[in-house]
Structure 1
Amino acid sequence: MQTRILVAYASKYGSTKEVAESIADTLHENGLAVDLKPGREVRSLENYSAVVLGAPIYILHFHKDAQGFLSRHHEALTKLPVAFFALGPLSNEAEEWKEVRVQIDKDLAKFPWFRPVEIKIFGGKFDPKNLRFPDNLLIRLPASPIHDMPASDTRDWTEIRSWASSLAALF
């Protein structure tokens, strides 16, 4: 049986989807069969040898679709190697990266059975022009952490492809 990898993702504005696409492309370039799907659309993990799951951090938690994916596929995920990535930090400040890691660890602790072979954090993307209701209200509130925040994109595409290549060797 050929090694078939599922790259599943949760994405609200498309940034995590773009990273998942890059990971899927890199895995494919490394000779693996890959399916790329939104996590909420995955019905079964039966035909997969491994899973890569990606989620953005929104308002101090990783995306609910990723949490739902973990809950729905609990039994299958205990039998497969799984790599998890998250997008979160919107700057290159070390403290922000530490805070995101602490939050990911807290969220993953809700799934004590989940033991990913890899956990990776990538920088995130923020564009206030693309925010939809109710998120667009947050940029108007002076007490909001994103009030008047400029657009940013801290995703490192070289690092993303390098990590995906390392997963290809692992899987």
Structure 2
Amino acid sequence: MTAAKVLVAYGTKNGSTAGIARTIADALGEQGLRAEARPAAEVLDPSPYDAVVLGGALYAGRWHRDAVRFSRRHRRALSGRPVWLFSSGPLDASANKRDIRPVPGATRASMRLNAREHITFGGCLQEGAKGAVARMIVKRGGGGDYRDAGQIRAWALGIARELTDVTGGP
């Protein structure tokens, strides 16, 4: 049997969410799945994929527009496929300590795509960030890298287990 092909699509502004997506794709690949991380805006047709993980950065309580648009544009193509969602954004350790409810845009996408799960990971905002507000946050000492690679990998391994159980192997 051929290994499931998984798309890890993401919307990012400063690259933090792209890094999370790559970590997820790498972890899935290590479990024998064929996974690739791609910017959501560049995905024209997700139908060649057996499953999709969609992530979006959080800014001012909103899910990244590329993730929202992806969920709208491809809802029919994703119907019947397993979908998982993630957000990245808190600039503190809160995402490592407790579940954080998805923002409204991610909640709507979850319902639209009948997602199996949503999780929020810590974000990353460092020197050189795009946007006036982001630069101001960094300047005032509010930036940092709060992504937890262990938490991200553990979540991805759970997805791999589900997909392996469904397909009968990698």
TM-score range normalised by the length of the shorter chain? 0.7 to 0.9
Query: Superposition RMSD on alpha carbons, in Å?
Result: 2.3
Confirm or deny: 8 A CA contact 1:8 1:37 kept in the other structure: yes
Aligned pair 1:53/2:54, yes or no?
yes
- Number of residue pairs aligned between Structure 1 and Structure 2: 160
* Length-normalised TM-score, structure 2: 0.84
- Aligned equivalent of 2:81: 80
- Give structure 1 stretches of 5+ with no counterpart: 140-144
* 1:126 maps to amino acid: L
* 1:118 maps to amino acid: E
Specify whether residues 150 and 113 from structure 1 end up closer, same or farther in structure 2 by C-alpha distance, changes over 3 A only.
Answer: closer
CA shift, 1:50, in A, is 0.3
Specify whether residues 121 and 109 from structure 1 end up closer, same or farther in structure 2 by C-alpha distance, changes over 3 A only.
Answer: closer
Q: Deviations over 1:103-128 (max 9, x none)?
A: x242234444322111111111122x
CA shift, 1:157, in A, is 0.6
- Give the 5 Å matches for 1:1-171: 1-93=2-94, 101=101, 104-111=102-109, 112-127=111-126, 129-135=127-133, 139=136, 148-171=140-163
* Length-normalised TM-score, structure 1: 0.83
Aligned counterparts of 1:83 and 1:51: Cα–Cα separation in 2? 6
CA shift, 1:97, in A, is 6.5
Q: After the TM superposition, which segments of 4 or more aligned residues of structure 1 sit over 2 Å from their partners?
A: 108-114, 131-137
Identity %: 34
Aligned counterparts of 2:157 and 2:75: Cα–Cα separation in 1? 26
